[in-house]
Structure 1
Amino acid sequence: MNIILSPNKREHFLPMPVVLISTVDREEKYSIIIGKVVHLEVDDRYLAENGDMDFERAHPLSVMLGETGMYYTVPAGTGDYREYAEMFTVGK
């Protein structure tokens, strides 16, 4: 097993070891890295009553990549919610 990311549990609220599946190079400008999460744990302090992640409490960090650098962001809710089934049009 080739784990490419295994964060220290003391430093992260969502430790997530990932196995590298493949990389795809595009136009010599960027690469897409595809991995598989092999284990997932979450600190219960960051869960809502229904078991979903409470991102306002957790403040998970994400990144938007620009031409010359990175912009670090945290998600902000829109107040909108959709069921997963709404993504699929089969049978409609």
Structure 2
Amino acid sequence: MKRALELVETIYETEPVGGPLHVVIDDWNIDGTITVDTYDIGEDIDQCSPEADMAIRELVPLLNRMTVAERASALARNDGYLPREPSL
């Protein structure tokens, strides 16, 4: 989860609306297989900054290994609904 949060942060540094992952990380469409969205905002992954491109390519398979609950938890932490660091 920590790595997912770092990657989302990297994406937002140059892609203010989540770029090609907008429907996932902004709109929380997190069930099923996560893919790079190239139709929602007309942005292709190749149009992203190199940093965001690399982060997206690492984040998508990471999200696909997570359960829906883990994805929701990561996004909730990113959006400030939960503490960034889980309490032990």
Larger Rg belongs to: 1
Q: TM over 0.5: same fold?
A: no
- Give the structure-1-normalised TM-score: 0.26
Which structure has more relative contact order (CA 8 Å, sep 6+)? It is 2
- The structure where strand makes up a greater share of residues is 1
- The structure where helix makes up a greater share of residues is 2
